[in-house]
Amino acid sequence: MSARLYNRLSSLGRLVVLLAAYSAILFLSLIIALLLRFDFQVAPEFWTRFWKSLVWLLPLKLVALAFFGQFRTLLTYFSLPDAKRIAGAMGASALIASIAWFVLGGTNVVPRGVIVSDMVISFLGLTAFRTALRVYREKLSAPVDGSTSSRKRRAAILGAGTAGAALLRDIQGRQGLGLDVVCFVDDDRAKIGGTLHGKQVLGPTRKLASLVEELDLQKIIIAMPTAKPAVIKRLVEQINALGVDHDILPSVAQLLHRQVTVSHLRRVDPEDLLGREAVSLDEEGISGLIKGKVVMVTGAGGSIGSELCRQIAEQNPSRLILVERSEPALFAIEQELIGSHRHVELVPCASSVCDEDSLSRVFAKHRPSLIFHAAAHKHVPLMEGQPAEAIRNNAIGTEIAARLAIQHGASKFILVSTDKAVNPTNVMGASKRLAELLLEQKSAASPECAFSAVRFGNVLGSSGSVVPTFRRQIAQGGPVTVTHPEVTRYFMSIPEAVGLILQSALQAKGGEIFVLDMGEPVKIVDLARQMIELSGFKPGEDIKITFTGLRPGEKLYEEPIHEMENVEPTSHPKLRRLRNNRSNGSGDLVAEVHAIYREAAGDGNRLKAWLTEKIPEYQGIKC
């Protein structure tokens, strides 16, 4: 039997079972309502009216259930939204039946009291039926090896809020997880002493040590997605000191609009400790910018590009074009979006922004209105020895994409830049500053398209960042290598950075550079220590930290703003606008960058000398 035929039979079988079960429940509820109305002494004439009403009243209620989606639902999954839909269906059918009573003057229709009682009894009967099926499913999903709750790992959920409650319900529905949640722990005095889904709420969290001992807790789950990083850090330190296994539910920014489930649980990452409070965005404005538009993301498979795709897909563009030269990365983000955003038309393009012919065909066919240009080389030491590749991809690729955006009527073009473009000491930063200058010339020459750039620092967990490197070194037993004890970097979470990129696109008028508020810089050695501690080791004892010295082109600290750039506030507190007061010289920079690449692609020192000429603040290091 084919899978398609099996699915058809399965759907038909579910429909038949639901139709039979619902019909029986609705029939019985109507009889009970009639009997209650007349104290179980129903006159013959009312039985006659009952049977005549049943002919149209039962189909009416079944049609209402179908309209409210209760024939498409899975039998054994039932929750509050389903109960609300059943209530809506019964209420709607009761309203129509009442109107029929008045139109017919009560003739051949059951009494009004029966209609009202039947609405309530039908709702109770249907919800009881669906709840019973859910309980039966949860019972069947328990392990068959005879394990009991005493053999499960006793767990507590930190946070008796909406996220914690949703997580408990999901855990209770997955008996095979081997978890027995025995309580919630919360600092809210109003909640302490109460119960949530049958589990007692204890607290405060400062008593966690005694609770672990008294309740024999073997696992703690932090379900506080809106908590500040300082709170998470304090809790993690407490739990680490107790030696108890622990997981965390991601932050609101990471969860976005996804439902809380067990599958979202993960180990505590540095992002949870170094991140900032959730950033409030102009969701309505961003939605208006993207909804129904054709949007292109270059570098769609990268850390920033893929998150751009996710957040843009949430805003319902008419088409989302994914430009990525890495086939595996392109396939991964395409498959993810197919699974999570089926309503969005996706156009995967295995192409490089440096391939003008290929990119031109994409622009001509789809004519994107918004372009988010995230394609770039970003690894500082690698690019230091390959200045031609850095210029080609980061600067020339940007120019090609920007020129095609003008030719095909795009309204906005947003370049994802970096704080390394300010007073650059490396080729990568200089090439990104060159890209910014190229966009400034494009903006001046073509005001019909708003060209803007967005600068920010390092992104936690992105490919090539220190976090994956440190994690790998810890797994290997160390040492963890840090370039210099005083080196600092700005860090942001990927969702926060991308949210502010979309916010800057909303405010872009053309010619601006936006800078994201990245908070305070973090010492890399402190990050290394925290990651070692999160892995259950002691820095300097179990895992050593060694200093290797700054690599070519690296700085001790980064600067998001040049001293000659004017800083202006925007309507968003986390976003600032820069206006350039520097003289960037005259002449056709586009022609010059193409010419120098053709002439000196094999001469790294000449390319660096040219970059120094065009970007005076850049002090190149010879190859």
Distance CA 244, CA 175 (A): 21
Among 73, 59, 68, smallest CA distance to 91 is for 68
3-state secondary structure of 588: coil
Residue 401 corresponds to which amino acid? A
Phi and psi at 125, nearest 5°, equal -65, -45
378 tagged catalytic = no
Distance CA 98, CA 102 (A): 7
- Strand blocks (E) in 118-269: 153-158, 179-185, 195-196, 199-202, 219-222, 245-248
Among 446, 437, 444, 388, smallest CA distance to 417 is for 437
Q: What is the DSSP string of 501-525?
A: HHHHHHH--SS-EEEE---S-EEHH
Q: Give CA torsion, residues 483, 485, 488, 492, to 10 deg.
A: 80
Residues in the chain: 623
Catalytic pick from 152, 219, 420, 432? 420
Distance CA 416, CA 325 (A): 17
C-alpha to C-alpha distances, 8 to 21, 72, 236, nearest whole angstrom: 20, 13, 49
C-alpha to C-alpha distances, 5 to 9, 19, 65, 71, 514, nearest whole angstrom: 6, 21, 26, 19, 55
The two three-digit tokens of residue 530, written as one number: 């925290």
- Strand blocks (E) in 360-445: 370-373, 412-416
Residue 105 corresponds to which amino acid? G
Residues annotated as catalytic are: 420
